Amino acid sequence: MFPASLPAASSRSEQFDAIVVEALEPIEARWAGELDKLDVAVDEVPDVRRTARGESGEGVLHDGEVPLSRLVPVGVDRNGVPTRARIVLYRRPLEARAKEPGEMAELVHDVLIEQVATYLGIDPETLDER
């Protein structure tokens, strides 16, 4: 057993969430005004049935056949309530793509850069100033 304060005590899901927050912080710091109506979420896996039913693949960042993330535009839910735009990162496909633990932070960063750039309608290189 590890003390709760140690990183090893965190679940894989919690560790992934921390990587996402760390990757998103500098982007939000620089583009706060433009991103105030954008949410970022994490799902375990994509709902591949949605794409199979003919849903547009627009806003989906793929690695081969498996979506890594999705940019969901502003819309209205089935109850008529307006929804905000959001980027959904799919944890398990991203974990499967990262061959080494150190690659995960870079991969999440790259996916966020691509999706935020798409949301803002700008070149990813403009957004990515490491």
Please report the pLDDT score of residue 104 as a whole number: 95
pLDDT tens by residue, 23-78? 999 999 999 999 999 999 999 999 866 554 444 456 777 766 789 999 999 999 99
pTM over the 0.85 mark? no
Set out the domains of the chain in order of their start, with CATH numbers. Answer: 8-47+57-127 (3.30.2010.20)
> Is the distance from CB of 63 to CB of 111 less than 8 angstroms?
no
Between 16 and 5, where is the model more confident?
16
**Distance (Å, whole) CA 70 – CA 1:** 36
pLDDT tens by residue, 74-127? 999 999 999 999 999 999 999 999 988 789 999 999 999 999 999 999 999 988
